[in-house]
């Protein structure tokens, strides 16, 4: 089934599988938390009794506004905190990670929700911004926080999660992926890739790399679950930078089939408390959904592509922060 067809059949009114029992007393980081899915996820974590919820936001003023709204909605203060995190800047990612490692006693989940769909060739840190934000900075943050989370697992006898929010829209891009898979970072940056393909290809690269990384860091060694979650088509402003015709088309789809941000946050919350069996898997609709992953991603040829994707990214991460990848492997 194509992503478009799947959208027309996506269920609504998803269950809230995260509970007070699973979340109370925990410390959570949610990126892109001042609006949309990230905001609703953070708000629910506060409502479920989390001890601390860090809102990773590019605009701290907007983050403080979101914090106030969460406090009013939940009746709980001194739980949510807005921290600066600009995924277009590696220095910002490193500073955020250093602060988290230094100031937080534990990390129960890192929910990497922040993403960008630029629909134009904008550069950041030497790459198209979709790749910098959705792939490189996202994986950099996960790698930098993994040792702290592994320590949290042992010290507090918990099962921390790194949740990478992705999209099933990329599963329709096999032909485009085959054109770039041997050197994905260089080729996505090139003029040969149409601007409308950059976002889905960035999400493919993200999925390929995370799945391979998960195979290198089993839960049995790290104590940390790493999974991928697709929230489905949701009524957020992700496509605000798209061409007018595309925005009009997407608005029509959202009106017919789109989930609310509250409904779309439920898969993220599920991924943050899912069992060890979710490690390395794609989740959607509040369940593990490996059946939705195309064979060209999961078969032997796909696994080779995953390896190339991860090794290409790992090399870049080692350049950004020497030793960070070796430390987790």
Query: H or E segment at 227?
Result: strand 225-230
Q: Report the distance separating Cα 283 and Cα 178, nearest Å.
A: 24
**Choice among 28, 181, 203, 212 that is catalytic:** 203
Asked if the structure places residue 14 within a domain, the reply is no
Domain limits at 68? 19-328
**Choice among 28, 199, 307, 326 that is catalytic:** 199
Cβ atoms 264, 40 nearer than 8 A: yes
Model confidence band, residue 251 (pLDDT cutoffs 50, 70, 90): low
CATH of the domain at 85: 3.40.50.720
Asked if the structure places residue 112 within a domain, the reply is yes
- Whether 199 sits among the annotated catalytic residues: the reply is yes
Q: Report the distance separating Cα 262 and Cα 209, nearest Å.
A: 28
Asked if the structure places residue 138 within a domain, the reply is yes
Helices (H), the chain: 3-8, 20-23, 36-47, 60-74, 90-103, 129-131, 138-156, 174-180, 184-189, 195-216, 219-222, 244-257, 261-271, 295-298, 300-320, 324-328
Q: Report the distance separating Cα 312 and Cα 305, nearest Å.
A: 11
Name 98's Cβ contacts closer than 8 Å, sequence gap at least 6: none
Least Cα distance to 313 among 225, 215, 206, 224 occurs for 206
The neighbour count for residue 275, using CB atoms within 10 Å, is 11
Asked if the structure places residue 12 within a domain, the reply is no
Dump pLDDT digits (tens) for 231-245: 988 766 655 555 565
pTM above 0.75, yes or no: yes
Domain count, the chain: 1
Residue 4 gets which letter from DSSP? H
Q: How many CA within 13 A on the CB side of residue 139?
A: 32
Q: Report the distance separating Cα 82 and Cα 272, nearest Å.
A: 20
Dump pLDDT digits (tens) for 32-74: 999 999 999 999 999 999 999 999 999 999 999 999 999 999 9
Asked if the structure places residue 286 within a domain, the reply is yes
Name 7's Cβ contacts closer than 8 Å, sequence gap at least 6: 232, 233, 253, 257
Q: Provide the 3-class DSSP secondary structure of residue 259.
A: strand
Asked if the structure places residue 9 within a domain, the reply is no
Q: How far is CA 253 from CA 2, 40, 90, 232, 247, in A?
A: 15, 22, 35, 12, 10
Q: Report the distance separating Cα 84 and Cα 32, nearest Å.
A: 10
Asked if the structure places residue 265 within a domain, the reply is yes
Model confidence band, residue 253 (pLDDT cutoffs 50, 70, 90): low
Asked if the structure places residue 1 within a domain, the reply is no
Task: Say which residue the tokens 């909605």 belong to.
Answer: 73
Phi-psi region of 37 (alpha: psi -120 to 50; beta: other; left: phi over 0): alpha
Q: How far is CA 269 from CA 23, 35, 44, 187, 226, in A?
A: 10, 16, 8, 34, 14
Predicted pLDDT of residue 258: 73
Cβ atoms 167, 229 nearer than 8 A: no
Cβ atoms 54, 28 nearer than 8 A: yes
Dump pLDDT digits (tens) for 107-158: 999 999 999 999 899 999 999 999 999 999 999 999 999 999 999 999 999 9
């Amino acid at each position: 089934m194509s992503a478009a067809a799947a959208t027309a059949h996506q269920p609504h009114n998803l269950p809230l599988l995260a509970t007070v029992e699973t979340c109370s007393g925990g410390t959570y980081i949610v990126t892109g938390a001042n609006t949309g899915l990230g905001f609703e996820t953070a708000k629910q974590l506060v409502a479920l009794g989390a001890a601390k919820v860090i809102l990773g936001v590019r605009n701290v003023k907007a983050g403080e506004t979101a914090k106030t709204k969460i406090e009013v909605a939940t009746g709980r203060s001194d739980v949510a905190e807005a921290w600066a995190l600009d995924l277009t800047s590696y220095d910002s990612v490193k500073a955020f990670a250093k602060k988290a490692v230094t100031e937080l006693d534990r990390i129960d989940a890192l929910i990497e929700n922040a993403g960008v769909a630029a629909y134009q060739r904008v550069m950041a840190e030497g790459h198209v911004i979709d790749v910098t934000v959705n792939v490189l900075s996202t994986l950099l943050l996960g790698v930098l926080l993994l040792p702290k989370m592994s320590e949290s697992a042992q010290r507090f006898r918990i099962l921390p999660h790194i949740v990478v929010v992705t999209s099933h829209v990329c599963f329709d891009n096999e032909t485009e992926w085959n054109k770039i898979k041997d050197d994905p970072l260089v080729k996505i940056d090139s003029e040969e890739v149409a601007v409308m393909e950059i976002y889905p290809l960035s999400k493919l690269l993200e999925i390929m790399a995370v799945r391979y990384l998960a195979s290198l860091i089993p839960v049995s060694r790290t104590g940390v679950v790493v999974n991928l979650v697709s929230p489905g088509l949701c009524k957020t402003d992700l496509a605000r930078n798209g061409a007018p015709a595309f925005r009009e088309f997407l608005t029509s789809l959202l009106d017919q089939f789109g989930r609310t941000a509250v409904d779309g946050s439920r898969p993220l919350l599920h991924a943050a408390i899912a069992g060890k069996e979710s490690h390395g898997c794609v989740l959607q609709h509040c369940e593990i959904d490996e059946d939705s992953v195309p064979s060209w991603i999961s078969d032997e040829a796909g696994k080779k592509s995953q390896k190339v994707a991860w090794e290409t990214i790992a090399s870049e991460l080692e350049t950004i922060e020497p030793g960070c990848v070796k430390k987790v492997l």
